[in-house]
Structure 1
Amino acid sequence: MTDKKFLKIHCFQHADFEDLGCIKDWCIQNGHRINYTRFFEDENLPAPEDYDWLIIMGGPMSIFDDENYSWLKAEKAAIKEAIRQNKTVLGICLGSQLIADVLGARVYKNPEKEIGWFNISLTEEGKKEPVFSGMNEKMKVFHWHGDTFELPEGAKNLAFSEACNNQAFLYNRNVLGLQFHFEVTEESLREMLRNGKEELTAGKFIQSESEILTQKESIKSNNTMMFHILNSLASDEGV
């Protein structure tokens, strides 16, 4: 029997109120080590040899905000290098948009903001992929985004919603972009609401704070799927 491999996971965090959520619980339960670059505090980037996985979180900025966030250019270069070196890379919301951008896909404002609990549907490719095995063809997930992306060349489109054609993609089997927030916890949900209340304006795909909070029972199923995805990515590495 071989010893279990413990991963070195590095997290790019863009805002103090958008953290790893339940991903941190998964790391702790499995003995994996987490290090951070918290761009709102420190812009130091790790060398690729210092981590096995790179996880890129969401944030209120867009990928085009280089003038306001000077670290974005260096972050994009680091993501591109991680992909080049065949690291496992997971991007959530803004993170998925950054991955799409460095892979040469267009990132742009979606016609509608999508904030709240809305269904995603699996594509035919999504139904076949182990990362989403066991998920219903439709599932209510938590969204908070105004931008979206075109599919990077060579990537598989795994999911879509009524508001957004590209909700999840897989590139080279070890680079996964999720536009939505499977990682959300009750605490992180309240933090996002506290820090983003001004975005809860009238819109076809924007729910009110009370609508969002009354559906928080969906957090459990979202976290179950997040754990499944992480286990699937880890099993591909023999972890």
Structure 2
Amino acid sequence: MMESKKYINVIQHLAFEDLGSFGKVFQSQGFEIHYYHAGVDIPKTIYTDDSILVVLGGPIGVYETDIYPYLQQEIDGLKYRIQNQLSTLGICLGAQLLVVASGAKVYAGHVKEIGWSTLQLSEQGFESPLKHLHDVNVLHWHGDTFDLPKSATLLASSEHYPHQAFAMGKHILAMQFHPEADTNRFEQWLIGHCSELNHAKIDIPKLRADNQRFGATLAQAGEKLLREWLEEFDVLLQ
């Protein structure tokens, strides 16, 4: 009897913010990737499915459920996954959705953190898959921040914000930065977020140059991070 194909479910909030470099890792391990678009086609079954769920980033605020009501559906679904320790990876907005689903607060920060810089790992961070990001410049792209959930273990901070990554058990991992950013497709981010970048007076040529300077190293470190996280579930082929 042939083994059934394994797959992951991915919630996408923007067309150009996909799995990026993480997609290659999943594909190399035989995963079939199923993308679902927020506000359009997210079936409730992906929250109860024991397959890995990845929730990606986006420019909307997790607290704007009155404007974007589907966010509440995501929050409710993530509550179930947290309670049942179903393997879930949250990136940027995805991380903030996990925060709210766990009962903590997300709110506007004091500064837009957009650009490349290193993280400060906690002691637990050095014992986690995030250890591969030590001294690696990662891509930050957010204006909101959050309180650390009571059930969470802090893994990383940044220059501007104390809470950048956390874990809840071994199955739930949340990162407010972007370890999945694909250097070769970075221009899509600059185009798609041009209004935000101009409003925040971000130096776009520098952002582009830093992508060329740091992107390849981040991709290598991000692959190691993701592979180690997957090893927790014994799903790697090699």
On whether the aligned pair clears a TM of 0.5, the verdict is yes
- C-alpha RMSD over aligned residues: 2.1
- The 2-side partners of 1:124 and 1:207 are apart by 32
| 3-state SS of paired residue (1:200) | helix
Q: CA deviation at 1:64?
A: 1.4
Q: CA deviation at 1:38?
A: 0.6
Whether the 8 Å contact between 1:8 and 1:51 is mirrored in structure 2 is no
Aligned residue in 1 for 2:174: 177
- Which of residues 201, 209, 213 is equivalent to 2:208? 213
Q: CA deviation at 1:228?
A: 1.6
Misfit runs of 4+, over 4 Å: 3-6
Q: How many residues align?
A: 233
Aligned residue in 2 for 1:235: 231
Whether the 8 Å contact between 1:20 and 1:57 is mirrored in structure 2 is yes
Whether the 8 Å contact between 2:133 and 2:222 is mirrored in structure 1 is no
Identity over the aligned pairs, expressed in percent? Answer: 30
Aligned residue in 2 for 1:100: 99
**1:166 partnered with 2:163:** yes
Whether the 8 Å contact between 1:113 and 1:146 is mirrored in structure 2 is yes
Aligned residue in 2 for 1:125: 124
Aligned residue in 2 for 1:226: 222
Whether the 8 Å contact between 2:48 and 2:81 is mirrored in structure 1 is no
Whether the 8 Å contact between 1:160 and 1:166 is mirrored in structure 2 is yes
AA at the equivalent of 1:82: R
> Relative to 1, partners in 2 of residues 1:222 and 1:5: Cα closer, same or farther, differing over 3 Å?
farther
Q: CA deviation at 1:84?
A: 2.1
Q: CA deviation at 1:48?
A: 4.1
Q: CA deviation at 1:4?
A: 9.2
- The 2-side partners of 1:122 and 1:208 are apart by 27
AA at the equivalent of 2:58: G
- Using the size of structure 1 for normalisation, the TM-score is 0.89
Q: CA deviation at 1:51?
A: 4.5
> Relative to 1, partners in 2 of residues 1:134 and 1:184: Cα closer, same or farther, differing over 3 Å?
closer
Gaps of 5+ in 1: none
1:53-202 alignment, distance < 5 Å = 53-129=52-128, 131-136=129-134, 138-201=135-198
Gaps of 5+ in 2: none
Q: CA deviation at 1:97?
A: 0.4
- Deviations, residues 41-93 of structure 1 (Å, cap 9, x unaligned): 42433344545111000001010122222211111111111222221111000
